Each structure stands twice: as structure tokens, then as C-alpha cells.
Structure 1
Amino acid sequence: MTRAPIFAAVLLALAACSPSGSGSGTAPTVQAAGAICRPTPVGRQMTGCYLTLTAAADDRLTAVESPAANLVQIHESRMEGGMMMMRELRDGLALPAGQAVALEPGGNHLMLLGVKEPLVAGDTVALTLTFASSAPVEVTATVGQPAAPGADADAAPGAH
């Protein structure tokens, strides 16, 4: 009976070629680009951060932490009854495989709450992004004014 060893060898070869890992325990990856956080308004301890995420496989941004704030939430902004409303995405943000997902003013974004020290243009903010499947990603965001959504010069900048 030589089928069992051959079957085992085929399974090992397939596992080694699998995108989910090669036996080394590596997780799928997410790339982060263009991270920027707005300066904190005078007297306020909150601000928005924006970046673009691209996942190698379907994934979900589930949490974000920063030593600069007591809490970071994943938010969405949308129009409801003629007013811009913002709410936390408690289940995180879906990241379809191979698609760039932009977190930008007027849309999905990160909200830093309880900012410990005022953020001024030129500062940097460390962010740790946690995903459902991928390994955490460390990002350094610059503090400054983000481009308007879609980088259209005629677009009005969002509130955050």
C-alpha cells in the first residue's frame, strides 16, 4: 500500500503552495499607503486619520490603536436626511482582495479620540492596524491636511 505516503506527499506539496501560508505561520498581508492625520482643532481631543489599504486576500480591518490617543475607532460618514452623519463601524471595514480601499474625508476614516497631546502639522502619529486574518501593520501617519476626496481640486473638503 504505497497510496498513503503518496497522498500525504501531495497534501504537503499543496499546503506548501497555499497562499495562506507555507508552514511558517505567515498570514496574508495588507499594504497601507498615504497615512495622514488632521491636526487637532484648538481645545479638542479628537481628529480624523486617512489612508489607503490594499489586502492580498479578502480581509477586514477590525481595530486600530495609537499611543497618541486613548481610543481609535473605525468610522463611516454618510448623508442621512440632508445631514452628514458619522458612526463607528463596530464590525470593522471590509477589505476585498486586491482592491484599494480609501479611508478619506467625507467617507470611511479613523477617528482618534482622547488625543493625549495636540497634534500639529509636521508631527507623526503611530498607528497599529489589526485585521481579521492578516498580521498587524504598523503605520506612521504624518499630521497635515489631507487632499480632498478623489484629489479633485473642485471638491469641497470634508469636516474630517
Structure 2
Amino acid sequence: MGKAMFYHLTRRPLEQALPQLLEASLSRGWKVAVRGPERGRLEWLDEKLWGGRPESFLPHGLSGGPHDAQQPVLLTETADLPNGATCLMAIDGAAVSAEEVNRLERVCLVFNGYEEEAVSVARGQWKTLTGAGCAAEYWSEESGRWEKKAESEGA
């Protein structure tokens, strides 16, 4: 049984915070799917990840290619996980189901703390997932490092 981890971005933008979360997931031996609601945003994120520091290269791909199944990190806007991901990272309010939280090792919901709509969506997702019996944790980087601020044990 997995856990939903909510990451509230208040100090860094997504393109700076996400690589750290991806590296931590890859270090656990997990394949990761990064789900976003819009293809254009994922293409933008793909460019940012390719343009990162050479010493911290993150092997990844944009869904729809011939090698989706082999990608350690796959950026996708669909509900399926063609790379066999055991960790799902949802960005920009992408949908996540309680079934996914319970089936996968980890589901991370990363949201921008300076966008009122993003915070509202994340609150709704927390309520829906914990209401369905999923374990969840809320993490904030407000202090300059990730700190757990809330936890729900689930059913």
C-alpha cells in the first residue's frame, strides 16, 4: 500500500524542485511517471530537464516515443503508465486516483504555493484521497528544506 505525498512549493519553481524529487525516487530504484494535464507544459518541462546541470542529468523522455517502456522517468499527460512506473508525480493539478495511491509505491502531488487555484486543487485532492482511506503526508519547503507538516494514516 502506497502513500500520497503532497509537496507545497514556496521557495523554488517546479523546474528546480522536481529534479530533487526525481533523483530521490530513482535512487530507490523506482521508475517514475510525471503526469501533467497539458502536453505543452510537459514539453516545456522536458526542455528544462534536458537543459539542467550536466553533473545531475536525469534520464527521461516525453511520452509518445518508441522507447516509453524503457524510460526511467516518463513525462505524460495520460492515466496509463507505459514505463511501468512505481512512483507517480502529478504536477499542475493532474488527476490522481485512490486506486493509484494504493497500488503504487508512492504518489507525489507537487503544487505551486503561490497560485491560489493550485493550493485549492491540492486541498481538494488531499480531502478526496484521505477520505478514500489513503495514507498521506503534506510537506512544505517554507523553511528552506522539506519538512513534514501534516500526516493522515489512512484506513
TM-score where L is the length of structure 1: 0.27
**Which structure would you say has the larger Rg?**
1
**Which structure has greater helix proportion?**
2
**Higher strand content, 1 or 2:** 1
Higher relative contact order structure (alpha carbons within 8 Å, sequence separation ≥ 6): 2
Instruction: Give TM-score, length-normalised by structure 2.
Output: 0.28
